[in-house]
Amino acid sequence: MKNVTELKHPIIEHKLSILRDKKTSTKEFRELIKEISMFLCYEAIKDAKLDEVEIETPITKMKTHKVNEDQYAFLPILRAGLGMVDGVIEVLPTAKIGHIGMYRDEETFKPVNYFFKVPKDIKKREAIILDPMLATGGSAIDAIELLKEKGVEKIKFLCIISAPEGLKSVTKKYPDVKIFTACIDNHLNENKYIVPGLGDAGDRIFGTK
């Protein structure tokens, strides 16, 4: 899985420890999702192409470089992916935002698609999919497929927690998609939840349980 990057940093491990704790409040959970998403986005755009521009400092004129934010689009998978949006737009505030609506069928454990709205020029952009959890990989694969059908060539996937099973499925199906995760957990349980995980990210972000 050469296209999988796991963040290895004491601060990330510290924040994940608080995030996983079932005693952590909804407010703090949201804040941590935002903060970790910023770190993931920072790592994901290390290969960003820079445009040369001229600016004037208080001392002199100079040539420097800026990221062209118009080349990016963030695609949160509803609803949990919405929790990551505030973090990534701190890094690229003018990037476009689309939405991919999916939910998990509790009997088949497979994703059901119900909404797909992306920028009209999405095929010209680098698409960065957002979802806190990559469990079976079903939602990720479906989201990637929808974007490829739109002609998107460069796709990345950002998640807070991932399972080896899901990573294997996504990288096997789409080896060209780079995945950035804060932590690779141990395994999936019989209900397809990540172990040790952090529970249902959507419910914890929105306080619905």
SS3 of residue 124 by DSSP: helix
Other residues' Cβ atoms within 10 Å of the Cβ of residue 72: 24
pLDDT of residue 2: 85
Question: Which listed CATH number (3.40.50.2020, 3.40.50.1970, 1.10.40.30, 3.40.50.300) goes with 4-49+64-206?
Answer: 3.40.50.2020
Residue 151, sorted as left (phi over 0), alpha (psi -120 to 50) or beta, turns out to be left
- Which one-letter amino acid corresponds to residue 172? K
Report the distance separating Cα 37 and Cα 88, nearest Å.
6
Work out the average pLDDT over 32-38: 97
> How crowded is the C-beta side of 203, counted as CA atoms within 13 Å?
6
pLDDT of residue 171: 97
- For residue 135, the 8-state DSSP code is S
Is the distance from CB of 134 to CB of 170 less than 8 angstroms?
yes
The model's pLDDT over 82-120, given as tens digits with 9 standing for 90+, comes to: 999 999 999 999 999 999 998 777 777 677 788 999 999
Catalytic residue annotation: 104, 108, 200, 203
pLDDT of residue 102: 81
- Which one-letter amino acid corresponds to residue 171? T
The model's pTM is 0.92
Class of residue 148 by CB neighbours under 10 A (exposed 0-12, middle 13-18, buried 19+): middle
In this predicted structure, the answer to whether residue 1 has a pLDDT above a threshold of 90 is: no
Tokens representing 154 are 């460069």
